[in-house]
Amino acid sequence: MSKNIREEFERWGKTTLNKAISKAPEREPSFKTTSHIELKRLYTPLDVADLDYCGELGFPGEFPFTRGVQPTMYRGRLWTMRQYAGFATPEETNKRYKYLLEHGQTGLSVAFDLPTQIGYDSDHPLSDGEVGKVGVAIDTLKDIEILFDGIPLDKVSTSMTINSTAAILLTMYIAVAEKQGIKSEVLQGTIQNDILKEYAARGTYIYPPLESMRIVTDIFAFCKNRVPRWNTISISGYHMREAGCTAVQEVAFTLTDGIAYVEAAIRAGLDVDSFASRLAFFFCCHNTFIEEIAKFRAARSLWAKIMKERFKAKKDESCMLRFHTQTAGCSLTAQQPDNNVVRVAFQALAAVFGGTQSLHTNSRDEAYALPTEDSVRLALRTQQLIAYESGVADMIDPFGGSYAVEALTDEIESKSMEYIEKIEAMGGAIKAIESGYIQGEIGESAYQYQKEIEAKKRIIVGLNLFQMEEEPLRDILRIKPEVEQYQKKKLARVKKERNNTKVKEALAVLKKAAQGTDNVVPPILEAVKLYATLGEISDTLREVFGEYRER
């Protein structure tokens, strides 16, 4: 059978294809993906002749999970529609959450402002101009109470994009749930808690790497008993991709970070099967449709093998790569913003074909500001249209078996593995970040990408081709400067009304735990309940751990 195909393929090449190319050459001498993988003109059974279906692909819900992590995938339950949202005050963000839930969003995703992410209260000098700008401002438990007012935390899952201050936000969430009469054991959600990518690409680190890893593993241990349904980490490639790396690098750097976290947890005394099933991941979905689908499948397959072979995980759940996806913000333009709606639709579709568990779709005004109600509603509708009208959610991994997708899945997997082995030879992700290797690779890819755009080797519709005279968008979300004053006043009031003696004592207990080896999360929980501020708790840890300085 194969022999016939090979002969026929060669015959086709020499005759039909050759005739066509002689008349008119193809548009480019070669076509490459963003990862510089050269695409074949045509993939055939010859490209998957060695594919071991049961060994390499298997069935959804079973190792190596290439075709999907759940046995029924979207036929059982659609991906969670989880729009990243947050801005200005907790009061305003609470309104936006209710709006999104009303319009059919099925999970919450919290965006915090930079002071909150970096452990500064709204009244800190470095918070000047930043309060409430890129997310909601949170200073104390009081703000979290307002943020989730009227939202039943036992019925909705919440993802919080928070890293250096993840323990503080997690404990505030637990405290608020307690006030709603809900036990921490039933809470569902995620904290991003992925400090390594902060050093590599995102920048909201506070403490140095080893100390930060200690906090991460303390959180793993704490959640194992107290919040067992919580995703303790969202190991992220999104931000590194947004910083400019390729699809292959995105998989490689994310999984090496994952390896570092698993190693750290094991070193801290945790058994791999006790925490691994609660690790989650977060990827980008960029424009190159087929490459992205293959990327997600490759990531699942690779992680499963790493967990089984390297970390000897015994449970299948420990080998599952469950992930959230966000469509690529960096692919969207300020020029002709309606084009962004179409880009996002394609990207969202690729993520669904890739088997994502949860999805955020960007809004058309992404290049201008945080989304308005109208633009975020359309982004949500994009997901709903895919889910309810396109039919693609009615079967599992429909691209499985495609010669092109299987060949690309394989190629992305092996190219990512090359990178992973290189980084492991350097001593792992932490060493690769400390030496600047990962940052250098990301920066190089970003530079090449920009050069391609400026040389018109890479076309961005509306930007370097099909441009037009147009007015910039003016109806955009603006954060009022009064937000900062409002938060400062509220913070001052909370500080006045709380028991300051008890707060001081709680911070002293936290300091002692941080100086020793006790888990820091329980003292943080006690401190937040007493309305210690995020800044005070972060500063207490700063006193013990010091601050990280970029090379």
Partner 1 sequence: MRYALCMEGSMSRKIRVLIAKPGLDGHDRGAKVIARALRDAGMEVIYTGIRQTPEQIANAAIQEDVDIVGLSSLSGAHNNLFPKVVNILREKGAEDILVFGGGIVPVDDIPGLKKAGIREIFQPGASTEDIIKYINENVKTT
- Please classify residue 225 by burial: count the beta carbons closer than 10 Å to its beta carbon, then call 0-12 exposed, 13-18 middle and 19+ buried: exposed
Quick one: 198 or 406, whose CB is closer to partner 1?
198
For residue 365, the 8-state DSSP code is T
Binding map of partner 1 across residues 223-252, x = CB under 8 A, - = no contact: -------------------xxx--------
- Structure token pair of residue 231: 């995703």
Query: Closest distance between partner 1 and the C-beta of residue 337, in Å?
Result: 11
Q: Does 433 bind partner 1 (CB under 8 A)?
A: no
Q: Does 333 bind partner 1 (CB under 8 A)?
A: yes
Quick one: 381 or 542, whose CB is closer to partner 1?
542
Cα–Cα distance for residue pair 350/226, rounded to 1 Å: 36
**Beta strand pairing status for 358-360 and 80-81?**
parallel
**Helix (H) / strand (E) containing 84:** strand 84-85
* 247 within 8 A of 416, measured Cβ to Cβ: no
Query: Closest distance between partner 1 and the C-beta of residue 447, in Å?
Result: 5
Which of these segments, 66-74, 170-178, 300-308, 469-477, binds partner 1 (CB under 8 A)?
Answer: 469-477
Query: Closest distance between partner 1 and the C-beta of residue 120, in Å?
Result: 8
Cα–Cα distance for residue pair 415/252, rounded to 1 Å: 8
Residues between 88 and 127 with contacts to partner 1, criterion CB under 8 A? 114-115, 117-118, 120, 126-127
* Cα end-to-end distance, the chain, whole Å: 59
- Structure token pair of residue 361: 């779709």
Binding test (CB under 8 A) with partner 1, winner from 450, 485, 500, 517: 450
Query: Closest distance between partner 1 and the C-beta of residue 310, in Å?
Result: 31
Q: Does 454 bind partner 1 (CB under 8 A)?
A: yes
**DSSP H helical segments within 311-372, as ranges?**
338-353
Q: Does 174 bind partner 1 (CB under 8 A)?
A: no
Quick one: 202 or 324, whose CB is closer to partner 1?
202
Residues between 353 and 372 with contacts to partner 1, criterion CB under 8 A? 367-369
Query: Closest distance between partner 1 and the C-beta of residue 494, in Å?
Result: 22
Binding test (CB under 8 A) with partner 1, winner from 12, 31, 388, 447: 447
Quick one: 131 or 146, whose CB is closer to partner 1?
131
**DSSP H helical segments within 53-135, as ranges?**
73-76, 90-102, 114-117
Strand partners, 108: 158
Instruction: Please count the residues of this chain forming the interface with partner 1, following the rule CB under 8 A.
Output: 39
Q: Does 266 bind partner 1 (CB under 8 A)?
A: no
* 94 within 8 A of 146, measured Cβ to Cβ: yes
Q: Does 463 bind partner 1 (CB under 8 A)?
A: yes
Cα–Cα distance for residue pair 268/214, rounded to 1 Å: 8
For residue 159, the 8-state DSSP code is E
CA distances from 48 to 6, 53, 404 (A): 13, 10, 9
Cα–chain-centroid distance for residue 496?
Answer: 38
Q: Does 335 bind partner 1 (CB under 8 A)?
A: yes
**Where does this chain bind partner 1 (CB under 8 A)?**
114-115, 117-118, 120, 126-130, 133-134, 198, 202-204, 242-244, 330, 333-335, 367-369, 443, 446-447, 450, 453-454, 463, 472, 474, 476, 478-479, 550
